[in-house]
Amino acid sequence: MKIPVGDLEFELLIPYAQIETRVKELAKQIETDYADRKPVMVGILTGSFLFIADLVKSIEMTTEVTFVKLASYFGGTSSTRQIRDDFDLTIDIKGRDLILVEDIVDTGNTMHYLIEKLKVRQPASIAVCTLLLKPEAVEVNIKELKYVGFEIKNEFVVGYGLDYREEGRNLLGIYRRRS
Ligand code: IMP
């Protein structure tokens, strides 16, 4: 089935039922890995808002939730490699275990930028949890990338928080651009 978003057409790639199952698996993995700690989950807005909500609901341990806002696509369908810092953390992260929660790692530039920025504040550890990874698009290797929901091809996707020109975030599954 074709779904129009803005001036483009999309088709279903990952149904919500599959996302739900995978998010629960990631939550269990995080619970096991951080059993004796109280991590800070840092959602990267805007794209991760649905993912972090579902993830946190599935984690049965104490976590803190906070957000930063970064932008890098600016309305197109490929990375500009320019990062705009819209808002920063408001908590002290020195000595804390951070889990950066992202919708998608594409070139890796956004995540690399954020990790370098946060490292200076001396957190105890940084791990990255991304719903989607495009392995063929990665330009900067992220060694902190510990939790990956799904690996996808180098295609433009929307849905479950991800947008095309601010549309499509409310779609429940992940949809890929039809060629
Ligand atoms: P990176 O810096 O190239 O890794 O890009 C990361 C950011 O670009 C993500 O947080 C998204 O906001 C955006 N992005 C990357 N790929 C897609 C996509 O396929 N659809 C929508 N946004 C994307």
Catalytic residue among 33, 54, 85, 106: 106
* Cα 110 to ligand 1 centre (Å): 8
Interhelix angle 16-33/49-58, rounded to 10 degrees, is: 60
Three-class SS string for 101-120?
EEEEECCCHHHHHHHHHHHC
| Total tally of structural domains belonging to the chain | 1
User: Can 36 be counted among the known catalytic residues?
Assistant: no
CATH of residue 116's domain is: 3.40.50.2020
- Residue-wise DSSP of 133-167: E-GGG--S--TTEEEEEEE--S--EEBTTB-BTTB
pLDDT score at 77? 78
Residues 6+ apart with CB under 8 A from 34: 61, 97, 99
Q: Tell me which residues have their CB closer than 6 angstroms to ligand 1.
A: 47, 72-73, 79, 102-111, 156-158, 162
Cβ-contact 100, 116 below 8 angstroms: no
Q: Which atom of ligand 1 is nearest to the CA of 113?
A: 2
Chain segment 96-131, per-residue pLDDT in tens: 999 999 999 999 999 999 999 999 999 999 999 999
The predicted-structure confidence for 79-99, as pLDDT tens digits, reads as follows 777 888 889 998 999 999 999
pLDDT in tens, 13-60: 999 999 999 999 999 999 999 999 999 999 999 999 999 999 999 999
Structural domain including 126 reads 2-177
Q: In what order do the strands lie in the sheet with 145-151?
A: 84-87, 64-71, 40-45, 97-105, 125-133, 145-151
